């Protein structure tokens, strides 16, 4: 069944048309990838669905009572709340009921029982319980902890969270919202690979439908069964994931081109006949020419010339001279910040032509290690040296090296004074900077455009060793593919950090896993690395576990503590059940009174209900703490 449908949908701003006449459906339990270059209207499509954008024509038909949840690209930006309170914003309706119930209780205390107040109180109490009002705070806390937040994190201001933590907080809000359609805008931004894999499991287990805007091809391939592509002001819908969409698109283009070329060949042949008939200029010839022209009109009436795909950037990394065979030697490098060890005992032996990717969780020091290698940071211990004739080109994921006050042209030209204006403009044109685009100020450019300028400058260095820190972060799919092609043809040495698994698979020959204790080397791409890690985990699961502690006395103490906790949990559960029964009896008594009881009785019932609710909340918190404690002895 269709969850949401679009009919003849068109959108744009002024004369800038984003897409037009689009019609398609998203069905229940369907996961849909939304792809296209930056600026084609992907986020606008989401804003139309949520009702934030009304500048469109056509129809959007949503299933009645369908709930839409939206995780935006810049999740929870600008929030002044702490983590727990931000997550609770999902339950603003319940919090409003709580506030109103408190107001009613005060009004009854001060002015006495009023029939309308009692009816409102009964109605709100029933609605509050029906919507899990008694447990929503505990469910929120459990969800946050399940996503990796500690109890200390719950009171941390949202503005102090990392990008990955904000994404997880936004996902928690989606999880709690019980939405039917989940809209995710670049959800893998700022997440390390382990977090992305957690997100994949989350979406795979989600019971509703999902639409995902992403440039992460590996992520899309694992999850999506339909692809919505926005290109050349058109929305095209194809069954299958990203890779299947690319295959179908290529087949369609080839078929369209072949049909167009064959038809036009026929048209040109008939036009030759028409020209010949017109030369003879007789009545019969004129009729023949008119007949042939009608034939051309019929053939070309619905003929559409195949639209070329978006113009891709085109470039290559050409080294000015070769390095020696030994490119980089490092021994026992270590680094700590504020007493926290990022990594230690990093040993490297990188040869000419190697393609090495560093993997590790956020905070494991991957970027710091690259900065040490290019001289922007210093190691705490150990040493490293580059070999003979090594010329380094460095891509910084923060794009710090770009001057926001310069024009795009000046930013490139000032680093390449040996090139003339024509050469610079020609190079910039290969990166889609043409005409007046070259005179735009750097701070006016999008993140993707700034990344292209940084890549262009890197290309012009002639480096034979490229050190790249998340080079695909700001790039759309077409630009990523162009970068992969250029790096695939690069004959020098590549050292990189990336969480783009598709990118890693295309280019990696060696993966080095980085953690605070040591490094581990894996041959091949991401798939090879993942297979080894998965097999290792499976073997550890099957292997009988050895007793961690053999001390008899300690084991007996732990068993005793576990028994006591089990007893406490059982008693707490009984007390919760008993208190809930008391609450139910009290609420029924209040409801059955119909407002006929005297003021003191109604007041006492109201106070009793409020006290029972507080007791249940306290018992639930105690039950959660006991379960957390007993889990340590499992």
The predicted pLDDT at position 549 comes to 47
Do 463 and 317 contact (CB within 8 A), yes or no? yes
Residue range 252-256: mean pLDDT, rounded: 86
The predicted pLDDT at position 330 comes to 94
**Among the listed ranges 155-164, 203-212, 333-342, 467-476, which one has the minimum average pLDDT value?**
155-164
Chain centroid to Cα 383, Å, comes to 37
C-alpha span between 339 and 136 (Å, rounded): 38
The predicted pLDDT at position 511 comes to 95
Q: Looking at the DSSP assignment, which residues form a beta bridge with residue 238?
A: 227
pLDDT(215) > 80: yes
The predicted pLDDT at position 368 comes to 93
Q: How many residues are there in the chain?
A: 634
pLDDT(429) > 70: yes
Do 94 and 154 contact (CB within 8 A), yes or no? no
pLDDT(476) > 80: yes
**Which residues fall within 8 angstroms of residue 624, CB to CB, at 6 or more apart?**
138, 141, 142
Residue range 273-298: mean pLDDT, rounded: 81
Between 627 and 213, the higher pLDDT residue: 213
Q: How many other β-carbons are positioned within 10 Å of the β-carbon of residue 279? A: 9
618-633 pLDDT, tens digit per residue, is 888 887 788 878 777 6
314-324 pLDDT, tens digit per residue, is 788 888 899 99
C-alpha span between 555 and 562 (Å, rounded): 11
C-alpha span between 367 and 468 (Å, rounded): 9
Q: Residue 505's closest CA among 369, 357, 317, 361?
A: 357
Paired tokens of 254: 């080839």
| pTM given for the model | 0.71
Q: Residue 133's closest CA among 537, 514, 616, 584?
A: 616
43-64 pLDDT, tens digit per residue, is 999 999 998 988 899 999 999 8
The predicted pLDDT at position 182 comes to 92
> How many C-alpha atoms does 19 have within 13 Å on its Cβ side?
25
Paired tokens of 104: 């009613």
C-alpha span between 465 and 408 (Å, rounded): 25
End-to-end, the C-alpha distance of the chain in Å comes to 44
Task: Spell out the SS3 assignment of 517-584.
Answer: CCEEEEECCHHHHHHHHHHHHHHHHHCCCCCCCCCHHHHHHHHHHHHHHHHHHHHHHHHHHHHHHHHH
Q: Looking at the DSSP assignment, which residues form a beta bridge with residue 608?
A: none
DSSP-derived secondary structure letter, 214? -
Do 237 and 230 contact (CB within 8 A), yes or no? no
C-alpha span between 39 and 45 (Å, rounded): 11
446 φ, ψ (degrees, to nearest 5): -75, 170
Q: Which pLDDT band holds residue 74 (cuts at 50, 70, 90)?
A: low
Burial-class residue 118 by CB neighbours within 10 Å (0-12, 13-18, 19+). Answer: buried
**Helices 599-630 and 136-146 sit at what angle, rounded to 10 degrees?**
20
Which alpha helices (DSSP H) does 281-327 contain, by range?
283-300
Q: What is the mean pLDDT of the chain?
A: 86
The predicted pLDDT at position 527 comes to 94
538-565 pLDDT, tens digit per residue, is 887 665 554 444 455 566 677 778 778 8
Please give the helix or strand (H or E) that residue 413 lies within, else none: helix 408-413
Angle among Cα 442, 459, 425 to the nearest 5 degrees reads 55
The predicted pLDDT at position 372 comes to 95
Please give the share of the chain, as a percent, with pLDDT higher than 90.
40
The predicted pLDDT at position 474 comes to 86
Q: Which pLDDT band holds residue 217 (cuts at 50, 70, 90)?
A: very high
The predicted pLDDT at position 309 comes to 57
The predicted pLDDT at position 492 comes to 95
Q: Residue 150's closest CA among 141, 162, 160, 158?
A: 141
pLDDT(127) > 70: yes
191 φ, ψ (degrees, to nearest 5): -95, 140
Paired tokens of 14: 């002024």
The predicted pLDDT at position 49 comes to 94
């Amino acid at each position: 069944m269709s969850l949401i449908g679009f009919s003849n949908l068109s959108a744009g701003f002024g004369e800038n048309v984003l897409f037009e006449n689009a019609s398609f459906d998203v069905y229940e339990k369907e996961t849909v990838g939304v792809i296209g270059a930056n600026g084609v209207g992907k986020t606008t499509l989401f804003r139309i669905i949520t009702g934030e954008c009304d500048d469109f024509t056509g129809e959007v038909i949503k299933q009645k009572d369908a709930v839409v949840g939206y995780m935006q690209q810049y999740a929870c930006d600008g929030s002044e709340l702490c983590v727990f309170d931000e997550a609770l914003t999902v339950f603003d309706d319940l919090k409003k009921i709580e506030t109103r119930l408190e107001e009613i209780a005060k009004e009854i205390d001060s002015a006495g029982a009023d029939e309308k107040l009692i009816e409102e109180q009964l109605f709100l109490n029933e609605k509050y319980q029906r919507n899990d009002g008694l447990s929503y705070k505990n469910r929120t806390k459990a969800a946050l902890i399940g996503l990796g937040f500690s109890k200390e994190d719950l009171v941390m201001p949202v503005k102090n969270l990392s990008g990955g933590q904000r994404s997880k907080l936004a996902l928690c809000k989606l999880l709690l919202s019980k939405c039917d359609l989940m809209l995710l805008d670049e959800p893998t931004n700022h997440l390390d690979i382990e977090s992305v894999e957690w997100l994949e499991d989350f979406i795979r287990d989600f019971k509703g439908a999902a639409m995902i805007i992403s440039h992460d091809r590996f992520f899309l391939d694992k999850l999506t069964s339909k692809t919505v592509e926005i290109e050349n002001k058109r929305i095209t819908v194809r069954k299958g994931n990203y890779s299947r969409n690319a295959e179908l698109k290529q087949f369609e283009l080839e078929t369209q081109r072949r049909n167009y070329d064959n038809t036009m060949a026929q048209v040109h042949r008939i036009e030759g006949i028409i020209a010949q008939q017109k030369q003879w200029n007789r009545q019969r010839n004129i009729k023949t020419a008119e007949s042939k022209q009608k034939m051309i009109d019929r053939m070309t009436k619905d003929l559409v010339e195949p639209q070329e795909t978006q113009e891709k950037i085109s470039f290559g990394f050409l080294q000015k001279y070769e390095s020696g065979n030994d490119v980089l030697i490092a021994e026992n490098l270590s680094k700590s910040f504020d007493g926290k060890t990022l990594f230690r005992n990093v040993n490297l032996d990188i040869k000419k032509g190697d393609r090495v990717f560093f993997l590790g969780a956020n905070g494991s020091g991957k970027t710091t290690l690259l900065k040490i290698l290019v001289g922007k940071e210093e190691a705490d211990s150990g040493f490293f040296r580059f070999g003979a004739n090594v010329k380094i080109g460095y891509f910084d994921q923060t794009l710090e090296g770009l001057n926001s006050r310069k024009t795009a042209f000046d930013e490139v030209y000032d680093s390449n004074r040996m090139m003339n204006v024509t050469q610079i403009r020609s190079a910039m044109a290969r990166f889609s900077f043409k005409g007046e685009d070259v005179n735009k100020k750097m701070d006016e450019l999008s993140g993707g455009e700034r990344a292209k300028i940084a890549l262009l400058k890197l290309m012009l260095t002639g480096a034979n060793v490229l050190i790249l820190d998340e080079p695909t972060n700001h790039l759309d799919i077409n630009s990523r593919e162009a970068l992969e092609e250029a790096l695939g043809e690069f004959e020098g040495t590549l050292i990189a950090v990336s969480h783009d698994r598709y990118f890693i698979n295309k280019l990696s020959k060696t993966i080095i896993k980085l953690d605070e204790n040591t490094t581990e080397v894996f041959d091949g791409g991401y798939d090879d690395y993942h297979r080894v890690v998965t097999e290792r985990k499976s073997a550890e699961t099957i292997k009988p576990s050895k007793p961690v502690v053999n001390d008899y006395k300690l084991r007996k103490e732990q068993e005793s503590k576990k028994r006591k906790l089990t007893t406490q949990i059982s008693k707490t559960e009984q007390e919760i059940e008993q208190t809930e029964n008391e609450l139910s009896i009290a609420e029924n008594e209040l409801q059955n009174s119909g407002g006929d009881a005297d003021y003191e009785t109604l007041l006492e019932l109201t106070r009793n209900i409020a006290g029972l609710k507080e007791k249940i909340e306290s018992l639930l918190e105690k039950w959660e703490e006991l379960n957390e404690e007993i889990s340590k002895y499992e």
